[in-house]
Chain A
Amino acid sequence: MENMERMVEFDIGTPSFEEIAGLARMSIENMDTYTSTEYPELPWNTAVDEYNRRSNAPINEQEIKHLVPIELRSLNDGTPIVAIDVSILGLGETQCGTIYAIRGTVVSRKEERYRYSRLGPLPFHINIGENETIKERRATDHTILSIDTGRRNPTIICRRLLTVFETMLKRKVAKMYDNAVLLWDGALTIPSVEEEIRATNSLMEVARKRRNSIVGVSKKTCLFSLQGTRDPLQGYQKPCLIDIDSRIQRTQRFLLLGTVYVAKLASDGLLFRLDVDKELPEAERIAAVERMIGNDLTQDGYPETLRLAHIFSKFNATEVIGMHRFLDDNYGLRILEYPNIRRILFGPFAGNHSKEPDAIYAKPV
């Protein structure tokens, strides 16, 4: 938490990677100095969460069928396609918090070649505090007592950490490219935290200024359920899009930075949800998708750059063990209870967004 505080002190959109790395190092080095006095409750807008969680389709499937798909061309014009993905994983609990590792990768395709830049892994220690010593201190220290940190969902802190990191990466990329298509993982939603909103807005501005088109790609969409329904784009041999933006409820649309499409990018490919920067004129939004198809596509219709970015970012078991050794060798953090690596990686929070670490760390006295 203490470090989260420090992190919040940065303008969320501007920390450099060096600063983040420094912060990571510091967060671990200072983990046993429990000095934080303030725990401001993060203003978490539950609306977005709620929105993402709803599995009942907010869109009427019947309606989709009546929408006319837009046929897409494949525009192979050499536009750079740049995908960004980040990953976070709980490495273990300490006496007063949790250690998370984050990693992010940028994969670009330019002149028919793929390149990656990978940042991390960076382990962070986040003080959360739920153990006896902290409770005792809480009893004597009023400032701490005033906030019930123990019951706060660590998911939120994790997500904040990840957002800061991801925003930093996205910003770097947006500044580096002109006339590129930038692929982000997931929907383009408005963040819930004040600073994050500001950061995201400025990030979008930077991208737009350099004529970069932002496309959010969601592997799974909960906008509508396809179960039991026929693929609305069945029968279409060419890649196509359906603009479903108008069918999204007004309250929800308000939270989006993009225009929402259902897309089938290869003839026998899967359906994806694409969010394309709302501020672009429609023709440019469609052109952005066509350039993506033309310059970076796999057979199953999922952008290769983004697939690679996922692969490069995801942690595996060897890396988890390696990071445990790193923490042991450099900070004397011994694992008290051995984690079940499988659970870390494939447990309830699988997909490398585990928020529930199994390892219990202790700093030897």
Chain B
Amino acid sequence: MLSLYRIENGEVQIISCPPQGIRKGEYLSIEDTSTEKSLIIQVVEIDYANVPGILEDILRRSSIHKVNGEDYDPLEIKSYIELVKDAKVLRCKIRGALTRGEFTDDISWIPVRSRSRVVGIPDETLLKLINPSRLLPIQIGRTQKKVRVDIDAKAIDGSLNIISGKKGTGKSHLAKTILLGLIDQGGLCLVFDINGEYTKLDYKSSGERNRFQKKMKVLIPGRNFKVDLRYAGLGSILSIMRSVMDTPGTSTWEFRRIWNSLERRDAISIEEIFRSIDNINHEYVREALFRRFQSLVDTGFFCDDPKSNTAFEEIFAEMNMGGAVILNLKDLPSMIRKIVVEFVLSKLSQLLKRNIARAVFLFAEEAHLYLRDTYWEDIVTRMRHLGVFVTFVTNQPETIKQNVFRQSDNIFLFNFTNENDLKAISRASRIDGYTIESITRELPAHHCLMFGKVTRDLPLVVGIGRLDIQTQGETRFFFTPLETTPEGIVDKSTQNNYQTALQLK
């Protein structure tokens, strides 16, 4: 039975006796039987009830632990006593209220203890509250009680999302789930794939192709992803030179002059640019530009052949029914990674400004490895207005700037154990740090605590479903389980025979 014990400093304490196996993260409602109101509360911590005499009892037992014997308890009272000993206090946070079935934020009233009834909220009811429309569902997993959880693609649309958690907890897996869900709903996505683990999303784990076959485009910079200098445009190249290559002001100014004059003659090519640089009188500027342009060319990413050019407009046009461009940044030197990202982001802005695409969902894994500092700000402000909706995925939450965290719309947190990580998140999130610390610390593998627009701000623990896709690049271990099969030894980490989550649709 659940009973209201007390309300103190915004925390509601419920006594559960006998204990009912309620878990952290579950929702309860305190129904006021005289009005049609109820408070919605969430269990954030479970303690033993401070039953008087427990300490005495334990001390007593510890002094007699070596004594064997039997109890003759004909009325079977012992079980009642054990129940009391096991009584739990559920520490809960108030998350909202229901007035005649309508969800409200009005939690200014306090239920009367004698007239209130505490009951668990069935997951189905809760999910209906969270996502009433179910217009564009993306199935991501199940609640702790195994009720299917869909998030509304609309709640991701226009949003800034953060997926974080410690290593190997399933962050990328969730990102992929959301990504595939968005594609199914017709969304256009772009992935900064630092580990090259999104490259086989169009294959089932069995190796067959799946329904995303025509919707994925994996770009490998320097190989199937090259840009013609003219397509890149002066703006992109200048910003790369400035921010990635630390080119001094005078030199960039000189580069601009060269570019403009070549452009007027319609003579932009790598060779011509080199020649122009060579003609610069000022030795210092000449040297500076030469070295930098050489590096740029050495990346193999830029070319002056329109036929080799990768035009985003064209890729996007093919993906008008939904699709994803996977930018495989795996094994690239840090500088090239930065150059490519810089180019892609500036190109993306241009295209969105020109309405070539309506909006792009950008998935950025460990963005601090390639995103320059000034872009963070830009992403949550200017680019967002243009229609770039970013999902940051990281196991180092402190690398995400505080204001990015604060402006985020949805947060998905997997297990954290590191105090600093927990603090970084608690400080910046919209829900209280206590809830975050208490729940995420104990999340099992592949479970996350999500909150924000996707849950109408009700923090929800979800077990993320499996995906029938080929995965690679995820957390690598030295010791991976090896299994002997008739064909020999199979490395399990590359073999995935998960049931599909998305195929259920």
Residues of A within 8 A of B (CB): 17-18, 21, 24-25, 107, 113-123, 308, 311-312, 316-323, 325-326, 329, 341-342, 345
Question: Are A322 and B81 in touch, CB under 8 angstroms?
Answer: yes
Cα(A118)–Cα(B61), bound, Å: 14
Q: Which of B57, B69, B83 contacts A316 (CB 8 A)?
A: B57
Query: Total contacts A to B, CB within 8 angstroms?
Result: 91
CB distance from A82 to the nearest CB of B (A): 13
Residue pair B83, A322 in contact (C-beta under 8 Å): yes
Contact among B52, B54, B71 with A118 in the assembled complex (CB-CB below 8 Å): B71
Q: Are B53 and A345 in contact (CB under 8 A)?
A: yes
**Is the Cβ of B51 less than 8 Å from the Cβ of A123?**
no
Contacts A118-B72, A316-B53: A322 and B80 contacting too (C-beta < 8 A)? yes
Specify which of A21, A119, A323 is in contact with B81 (CB 8 Å cutoff).
Answer: A323
Q: Mark B59-75, 1 if CB is under 8 A from A, else 0.
A: 01001101111111111
A329–B60 CB distance below 8 A? no
Other than the given A121-B73, A121-B75, A318-B51, 5 more pairs (CB < 8 A) read A17-B72, A17-B74, A116-B70, A118-B69, A317-B56
Q: Please, which residues of chain A bring their CB within 8 A of the CB of B84?
A: 318, 321-322, 325
Q: Cβ of B83: which chain A residues have Cβ within 8 Å of it?
A: 322, 325
What residues of chain A lie closer than 8 Å to B56, measured between beta carbons?
A: 316-317
In the complex, chain B residues whose CB is within 8 Å of the CB of A25: 75
Verify B53–A318 contact, CB threshold 8 A. yes
Pick the residue among B68, B78, B80 that contacts A115 (CB under 8 A).
Answer: B68
**CB<8 Å pairs between A and B, sample of 9:** A115-B68, A116-B68, A119-B72, A311-B60, A318-B54, A318-B84, A318-B85, A322-B83, A326-B77
A107 / chain B contacts, CB cutoff of 8 Å: 67, 69
In the complex, are the beta carbons of A115 and B53 less than 8 A apart? no
Q: Tell whether, in the assembled complex, residue B64 and residue A311 are in contact, meaning their CB atoms are under 8 Å apart.
A: yes
**Whose C-beta in chain B lies nearest to the C-beta of A28?**
B75
Residue from A18, A21, A311, A318 within 8 A of B52 (CB atoms): A318
Residues of chain A within 8 A of B54, CB atoms compared? 318
Q: Which interface residue of A24, A117, A118, A326 has the most chain B CB atoms within 10 A?
A: A326
Interchain CA distance A355-B297 in the complex, whole Å: 97
Distance between B20 CB and nearest chain A CB, rounded to angstroms? 15
Cβ–Cβ contact A317 & B53, under 8 A = yes
Select B80's contact among A18, A113, A317, A325, beta carbons within 8 Å.
A325
Q: Which residues of B contact A318 (CB under 8 A)?
A: 51-54, 57, 81, 84-85
Q: How many residues of chain B are within 8 Å of chain A by beta carbon? A: 27
- A345–B53 alpha-carbon span in the complex (Å): 10
User: Contacts of A320 on B, CB cut-off 8 Å?
Assistant: 53
CA distance A122 to B81 in the complex (A): 13
Q: Report Cα–Cα, A24/B63, bound state, in Å.
A: 31
| Interface set of B (CB-CB < 8 Å, partner A) | 51-54, 56-57, 60, 63-64, 66-75, 77-78, 80-85
Q: Is the CB of A311 within 8 A of B63?
A: yes
With A21-B75, A311-B64 in contact, is A341–B69 under 8 Å at CB? no
- Which residue of A114, A123, A319 contacts B75 across the interface (Cβ within 8 Å)? A123
- Taken together as a complex, chains A and B put the C-alpha atoms of A308 and B67 apart, in Å, by 9
Chain B residues lying within 8 Å of A323, measured Cβ to Cβ, are 77, 80-81
Kindly provide the distance from the CB of B502 to the nearest chain A CB, expressed in whole angstroms: 49
CA–CA, A25 and B76, complex, Å: 11
Instruction: Give complex CA distance A25, B78 in Å.
Output: 15
CB contact under 8 A between A308 and B75, given known A316-B53, A318-B53: no
The chain B residue with its CB closest to the CB of A18 is B74
| CB nearest neighbor in A for B51 | A318
Taking CB as reference atom, which chain B residue is nearest A340? B52
Which interface residue of A17, A107, A312, A321 has the most chain B CB atoms within 10 A? A321
* Residue pair A117, B53 in contact (C-beta under 8 Å): no
- The answer for the CA separation of A117 and B69 in the assembled complex, in Å, is 6
Neighbouring A residues of B81 by C-beta, 8 Å: 318-319, 321-323
Residues of chain B contacted by A322 (CB below 8 angstroms): 77-78, 80-85
Q: Are B52 and A117 in contact (CB under 8 A)?
A: no
Instruction: Output the least CB separation between A131 and chain B (Å).
Output: 25
A317, B51: Cβ atoms closer than 8 Å: yes
Q: Find out whether the CB atom of B67 lies under 8 angstroms from the CB atom of A316.
A: no
Do residues B60 and A316 form an inter-chain contact, with CB atoms below 8 A? yes
B61 nearest CB neighbor, chain A only: A311
Measured between beta carbons, the chain B residues less than 8 angstroms from A21 are: 74-75
Contacts of A123 in B (CB 8 A): 75, 77
Instruction: Tell whether, in the assembled complex, residue A342 and residue B52 are in contact, meaning their CB atoms are under 8 Å apart.
Output: yes
CA–CA, A345 and B51, complex, Å: 14
Residue in chain A with minimal CB distance to B87:
A321
List chain A residues, Cβ under 8 A from B74.
17-18, 21, 122
Cβ–Cβ < 8 Å partners of B66 in chain A: 114
Judge whether A308 and B64 touch: CB under 8 Å: yes
> Which of the listed residues A24, A107, A113, A121 has the most CB atoms from chain B within 10 Å of its own CB?
A121
* 9 closest cross-chain pairs (CB), A and B: A317-B53, A322-B81, A116-B69, A317-B52, A316-B53, A21-B74, A322-B80, A326-B80, A322-B84
Residues of chain A contacted by B75 (CB below 8 angstroms)? 21, 24-25, 121-123, 326
A345 surroundings in chain B (CB, below 8 A) = 53
State A185–B73 Cα separation when bound (angstroms).
Answer: 23
CA distance A326 to B73 in the complex (A): 13
Checking B52, B64, B70, B80 against A329 with a beta-carbon cut-off of 8 angstroms, the contacting residue is B80
Judge whether A115 and B69 touch: CB under 8 Å: yes
Alpha-carbon separation in the docked complex, A25 to B77 (Å): 12
Min C-beta distance of A337 to chain B, whole Å: 15
Task: Provide the residues of chain B in CB contact with A117, threshold 8 Å.
Answer: 69-70, 72
B87 vs chain A, min Cβ distance (A): 9
Residues of B within 8 A of A122 (CB): 74-75
B69 — which chain A residues lie within 8 A by C-beta?
107, 115-118, 312
Q: Which residues of B contact A341 (CB under 8 A)?
A: 52-53
Shortest B166–chain A CB gap in Å is 39
Q: Give the residues in chain B near A113, CB-CB below 8 Å.
A: 68
Closest CB in chain A relative to B159 CB, distance in Å: 50
Cα A281 to Cα B500 in complex, Å, equals 89
A321 touching B67, Cβ below 8 Å = no
Q: In the complex the two chains form, what is the Cα distance from A308 to B81 in whole Å? A: 20
- Give the docked Cα–Cα distance between A257 and B263 (Å): 124
Once the chains are docked, how many angstroms separate the CA of A114 from the CA of B73? 20
- Does A114 contact B60, Cβ atoms closer than 8 Å? no
B2 to chain A, nearest CB (A): 15
Q: Please measure, in the bound complex, the distance between the C-alpha atom of A292 and the C-alpha atom of B351, giving whole angstroms.
A: 98
| In the complex, residue of chain A having the shortest beta-carbon distance to the beta carbon of B72 | A119
If the complex has contacts A308-B64, A325-B84, are A319 and B71 also in contact, measured as CB distance less than 8 A?
no
- Distance A365 CA – B180 CA, assembled complex (angstroms): 62
A121 / chain B contacts, CB cutoff of 8 Å: 73, 75, 77
Question: B221: shortest Cβ distance to chain A, in Å?
Answer: 68
CB-based contact B51/A115 at 8 Å: no
**In the docked arrangement, what's the CA distance between A320 and B77, Å?**
10
Instruction: Note all chain A residues with C-beta closer than 8 A to B53.
Output: 316-320, 341, 345
Q: Assess the B77–A114 pair: CB atoms within 8 A.
A: no
> Which residue from chain B places its CB closest to the CB of A120 in the assembled complex?
B73
Report chain A residues within 8 Å CB of B67. Answer: 107, 114-116, 308
Q: Which residues of A contact B51 (CB under 8 A)?
A: 317-318, 321
A328 to B, closest residue via Cβ: B80
Chain B nearest CB from A325 CB (Å) reads 5
Q: Which residues of B contact A319 (CB under 8 A)?
A: 53, 81
Cβ contacts under 8 Å, A342 to chain B: 52
Complex: A18 Cα to B72 Cα, angstroms: 10
Complex Cα–Cα for A345 and B80 (A): 19
- Residues of chain B contacted by A326 (CB below 8 angstroms): 75, 77, 80
Nearest Cβ on chain B to A236's Cβ, whole angstroms: 29
- Nearest-neighbour CB distance to chain A for B59, whole angstroms, equals 10
Question: How far apart sit A5 and B68, CA to CA, in the bound complex (Å)?
Answer: 37
Which residues does chain B contribute within 8 Å of A24, judged by CB atoms? Answer: 75
Residue of B nearest to A320 (CB): B53
- Chain B residue numbers with a CB within 8 Å of A116 are 67-70
